[in-house]
Chain A
Amino acid sequence: MATAHTEAPAVGGPPSPTAPAAQDGRTAQRSLLRRLLGRPEIGALIAAIGVYAFFFAVAPSFRQADSLATVLYQASTMGIMALPVALLMIGGEFDLSAGVAVTTSALTAAMLSFQLTTNVWVGVIVALIVSLAVGALNGYMLVKTGLPSFLITLASFLMLQGLNLAVTKLLTGNVATDDISNMDGFNQAKKVFASEIDFGGVSLKITVLWWLVFAALATWVLLRTKFGNWIFAVGGHSESARAVGVPVKFTKIILFMTVGFGAWFVGMHLLFSFNTVQSGEGVGNEFLYIIAAVIGGCLLTGGYGSAIGSVIGAFIFGMVTQGIVYANWNPDWFKFFLGVMLLVATLVNLWVRRQATRR
């Protein structure tokens, strides 16, 4: 089932009855190329190479290994969330609460640890439970009511945004959490979520490593497991999927919980990287996660896409965001340049996909 959804339709019509059984080398080669171009992430990969080459040419400081580490860090904090968001989109749903859910998770861990004066790992574990519960609730509401995920998660986005502010104010008397850097367990947690590793003389943030681990795991789930088949099936046509025995409700709830897990992880990075969390953070980031997934080849209609695509999408976004700074372009035009570069990347992706499906 996964194959049916990720590969491009067969190129050309049915073979002629009189045609020889053996194909010549060129036909086989073209077929392989077409199949390769049919992968959801190939367009994004070509766009990424183009964007990288462009900034490599125009921005001398972009060429440094340190600069690549900065780009990867920017991409990883978005990319870790873009992965579950991409899986959810392949499953045919959106989560507009993903941005503020990151902040909810960070606030939960910080405030619980501080207010109860516990080891920070207590806060970390409770934050995980809360994040998974938020995801499960989103999924449950979706399958129970039959309302579009856009509406369900828009409601949870607003509720979480309100809770983030109100509960923080209620417990701390401020709109930001207290500094937890001197509490027990902080240093160990920082090592897991917000440390740096020396990689060939370049300081690489650990989020980059986690991002790649999660990407590999998501790709394996999507392409090598029964659950991966279910994701494509429910996104492609949930009624047909249900008819052939796919547990549609279960699949969707798990996908929302996966987004919850991602929000927890990025939230922990936010907390242990900055020691304190502003309750108003995260608003608007949900769109960046969706953008990364779409640039990476996910369709807004569901049933098509890849985990690797979202990685490339986040990398493109990271390159463009930082590349504009490295290129020292007029900052007044920053958002415009960003929009143009992302549009170009998406158009390249679209063009590649059309080339692959052209008869």
Chain B
Amino acid sequence: MDRKTRTRKATAIAAACAAGVLLAAGCSSSSGGKKAQTAANNISAGKATTARIKIAMITHAAPGDTFWDLIRKGAQAAAAKDNINLVYSSDPNAANQANLVQNAIDQKVDGIAITLAKPDAMKAAVAKAEAAGIPVVGFNAGLSAWKSQKLLEYFGQDEDIAGQAFGTKLNSIGAKSALCVVQEQGNVALETRCAGLKKTFKGKVQNLYVNGTDMPSVKSTITAKLRQDSSIDEIVTLGGPFALTAVQSVSDANSKAKVATFDLNQDVVKAIQAGTVQFAVDQQPYLQGYLAVDSLWLYKFNGNFSGGSAQPVLTGPAFVTKDNVATIAKFAANGTR
């Protein structure tokens, strides 16, 4: 077969495949899908007329995480309002995150919003930024280190306090034995939540480590634990997607356990409405991202310090229960809660 014939044949096959897909696309779904989804309302609050500035937001987020996506959306909303060129970058590796700070310094940005998940590893890079005259604010992680590293402000949740509040809530609903599901072993914020829970919860608390990047494995590991210990009556997950998986595990193990979670997403909101998830502790990630960027604009153009540069601005813990979920549902549908 000569090249021309081969090319013609390949083109014909490709065309047939494309036609097949288009034809199949005609098999439209009578329910659900994009057509049924209401368009999300973009949050808009006018636009600043101040000079355009460049702000770098540097986080320890792993790619593809719904929680961090909300933080970024909040940051983008503030940037759009404040006439800011937002440069977002992230790396879960502390050394790489420090390099990203250096990158921002090299770009001569007007401000840096940073997460301090591993404060010691970031200390030198933050000091360099401050020495270069770049204002730095912290958010989400680093509550214990923001003042010692001379950050202007801090926006986030005290994970220990959030854990304690969670424990108190579990006491009030009569839970006796809780399982704290940690999706990333060694993550300080996650471990602190479970530690805070242990401080106030009067019952028994056990930690369970799962591989957060493998949902079937998460499901079977929680199921195994529920079978191993039938006294568990409350599963505490540390992220929205894991709560929904835990609900399936409860069913698989024929367990009496209830599920509650830290952090929120659209599907968790629906689950709270349906009663399959009891409640969620929301640290309002959208607000964290928004305030971090907005505060740098306020500092640059009006010399403002949120929290007077002495106290952190706590964005959580806010409890979302069946009683108040309706007010949040519409915002969750917009992808901002």
Contacts and interface: CB of A to CB of B under 8 A. Distances in A.
Contacts of B27: 118-119, 121-122, 184
Nearest to B229: A328
A174 B285 CA distance: 14
A175 interface: yes
B102 to A, nearest CB: 23
A270 B37 CA distance: 23
A184 B64 contact: no
Contact of B228 (A59, A74, A181): A59
A325 B225 contact: yes
A283 interface: yes
A164 B64 CA distance: 8
B207 A116 contact: no
Given A113-B29, A118-B29, A321 B213 contact: no
A64 B228 CA distance: 10
B51 to A, nearest CB: 30
Interface residues of B, number: 54
B35 interface: yes
A125 B24 CA distance: 10
Q: For the complex, would chain A's binding face be called helix, strand, loop or mixed by DSSP majority? A: helix
Given A174-B69, A183-B31, A118 B215 contact: no
A148 interface: no
B19 interface: no
Interface residues of A, number: 67
Given A176-B241, A280-B62, A281-B213, A325 B224 contact: yes
A66 interface: yes
A70 B227 contact: yes
Nearest to A115: B34
A121 B224 CA distance: 32
Contact of B213 (A120, A122, A284): A284
Interface string A310-331: 0000000010011001111001
B172 interface: no
A84 to B, nearest CB: 17
B214 A175 contact: no
Contacts of A322: 220-221, 224
B216 A73 contact: yes
Contact of B66 (A125, A175, A182, A285): A175
A64 B252 CA distance: 14
A175 B228 contact: no
A276 B65 contact: no
Contacts of A184: 27, 29-32
Contact of A281 (B17, B215, B270): B215
Given A74-B220, A280-B65, A122 B32 contact: no
20 contacts: A74-B216, A77-B217, A78-B217, A120-B29, A122-B25, A175-B68, A184-B30, A184-B32, A270-B215, A274-B245, A276-B241, A278-B215, A280-B63, A282-B214, A284-B213, A285-B213, A285-B214, A321-B221, A325-B228, A331-B209
Please list the 5 inter-chain residue pairs (A to B) with the smallest Cβ-Cβ separation, ordered nearest first.
Answer: A280-B64, A117-B33, A279-B64, A183-B32, A77-B216
Given A116-B33, A179-B32, A332-B207, 19 more contacts: A73-B219, A77-B217, A114-B33, A117-B33, A122-B25, A161-B63, A165-B64, A175-B63, A180-B33, A183-B32, A183-B33, A184-B32, A185-B29, A274-B248, A276-B241, A280-B213, A284-B213, A322-B224, A326-B228
Interface of B: 17, 21, 24-37, 40, 62-66, 68-69, 185, 206-209, 211, 213-217, 219-221, 223-225, 227-229, 241, 244-245, 248, 252-253, 265, 267, 270, 335
Interface of A: 59, 61, 64, 66-67, 70-71, 73-74, 77-78, 113-122, 125-126, 129, 161, 164-165, 168-169, 173-176, 178-185, 203, 269-270, 273-274, 276, 278-285, 288, 318, 321-322, 325-328, 331-332, 334-335
